[in-house]
Amino acid sequence: MNEPNFLRQLFDAAVAAADPMLTVPVALPEKPEGRVVVIGAGKASARMAEAVESVWGPCEGLVITRYGYARPCKGIEIVEAAHPVPDEAGRMATERMLDLLNGLGEDDFVLALISGGGSALLVAPAGRITLAEKQQLNADLLASGAPIDRMNAVRKHLSRVKGGQLAAAAYPARLLSLMISDVPGDDPAFIASGPTVGEKTQPVEAAQILDQCGISIPASIAEVLNGPNRVLSPDDERLSRTENRIISAPSQSLAAAAKNALAQGILVRDLGDALEGEASALGAAQARQAQAIQRQLAPGDAPVLLLSGGECTVSGQGGGIGGPNAEFALAAAIQLAGHAGIYALAGDTDGVDGRAEIAGAIIGPETVDKARALGLDAEAYLAKNDSHSFFEAIDSQLITGPTLTNVNDFRAFLIQPTKA
């Protein structure tokens, strides 16, 4: 067996299971009579729009996706904008989306296509907050290593579209939101900061998160957080005609990978799709778990696949080019150095890990030695959070390009029994 190739096949199977061209058509109702407007935001939203038109034909609408993630549509306009830090293209497109929803009536129907990444792509700062201030805050939140649910709680209270406010803009039209989940637990309120989902937190809680993260804020942001609550309560009347439906989730992609492995006689241990924490700590811990599993295997036993999903964070301030999946893989490689028979892959299913256009990395027993032969110190690269540079130097990056979907991180350890 070529273990790295096998792990890449499993990753590809996981991504394919979440392809909107498969999941959207089966979730669509018959196209309603009357005016139908399609809106959306996220890394998968353009592919979702393409899937909608493959069933319904050309539609009126506007969808915002990440640069490089556009897809051809006949009626729905696709706008590309920046992620993870928003830009002017995203702001202008969001304003146009709100204009499109303005004035809809009870007989109209809105289809919202929401996926991970939508939080940065839907840009409508509240109050007197400027785009530049929103950009700086996003960058500060990303650098803080705060979990995604805490970052999104802040974003909701500083926006005119998040936390159910996009659904409010469409009210009293009927709205169906189809979602691709990229969050642990698949809570719709966390996907793209819940533009069509009610929110229970208060502005003071967002202010507390910023304080805990040590992030200073300008007067315009403080003004909004000290003002009235803008997000919608889950029982708000303006959400009464909205239905939110998750059509793809990380667990489904892990199941697709597991099915592929089982068909080849490999035993599977699934740790679940909601593992979170510091990437380097989790990578080392799962590598130790893989070693413990290997010690229990006898020569001739079937290999074991250790699967997990979720979303790691990188809170280090090393200044390098590293994302959570590459950092997870580097920490695992250090733990497994010289330990025969264990290979691993860690990748983001959207094809982008952190600030790099790289999905992640693939490692094996030789990874650290290969780097050492080139004069590279794996632990030094980990300390400066420069995992992407490390794996680029040894040609071990996981490169996919835009996958057009986003169901969070995928991690797999292939554990071979030791020889007699």
Single-letter residue type at 6: F
Instruction: Determine the Cα–Cα distance for residues 295 and 317; give it in Å rounded to an integer.
Output: 36
- CB distance 335 to 363 below 8 Å: no
Q: What's the pLDDT at 420?
A: 54
- CB distance 415 to 305 below 8 Å: yes
- Tell me the two tokens of residue 43: 């890394």
Q: What's the pLDDT at 138?
A: 87
Sorted by where each starts, the structural domains of the chain and their CATH numbers stand as 3-12+251-415 (3.40.1480.10), 31-248 (3.40.50.10180)
Q: What's the pLDDT at 382?
A: 96
| Alpha helices for 238-342 (secondary structure H) | 250-263, 279-295, 324-335
Cis ω on the peptide bond leading into residue 172 (within 30° of 0)? Answer: yes
Q: For the chain, what is the radius of gyration of the CA atoms?
A: 22
Per cent of the chain over pLDDT 70 is 100
Global confidence as pTM: 0.94
How high does pLDDT run on average in the chain? 95
Q: Tell me the DSSP string of 178-192.
A: EEE--STT--GGGGG
Give the residues across from 348 on adjacent strands.
409
Q: CA torsion 258→261→266→271, rounded to 10°?
A: -20
Element (H, E) at 389: helix 387-393
- Tell me the two tokens of residue 338: 């010289």
Single-letter residue type at 305: L
Angle between helices 279-295 and 324-335 (to 10 degrees): 40
Is the pLDDT assigned to residue 338 strictly greater than 60? yes
Give the residues across from 343 on adjacent strands.
414
Q: What's the rounded mean pLDDT across residues 335-360?
A: 95
- CB distance 134 to 86 below 8 Å: yes
Instruction: Determine the Cα–Cα distance for residues 151 and 153; give it in Å rounded to an integer.
Output: 5
Give the residues across from 67 on adjacent strands.
none
pLDDT digits (tens, 9 = 90+) for 147-206: 878 888 999 999 999 999 999 999 999 999 999 999 988 999 999 999 999 999 999 999
Q: What's the rounded mean pLDDT across residues 99-128?
A: 97
Give the residues across from 36 on adjacent strands.
109
Instruction: Determine the Cα–Cα distance for residues 336 and 35; give it in Å rounded to an integer.
Output: 58
CB neighbourhood size of 339 (10 A): 16
Q: What's the pLDDT at 356?
A: 86
- The label of the residue with tokens 């892990």 reads 254
Q: What's the pLDDT at 131?
A: 96
Picking from 7, 123, 55, the residue whose alpha carbon sits closest to that of residue 362 is 7
Instruction: Determine the Cα–Cα distance for residues 312 and 316; give it in Å rounded to an integer.
Output: 12
Give the residues across from 77 on adjacent strands.
62
Is the pLDDT assigned to residue 62 strictly greater than 60? yes
Q: What's the rounded mean pLDDT across residues 342-355?
A: 95
Q: What's the rounded mean pLDDT across residues 230-243?
A: 97
Instruction: Determine the Cα–Cα distance for residues 182 and 111; give it in Å rounded to an integer.
Output: 20
- The label of the residue with tokens 């009579």 reads 33
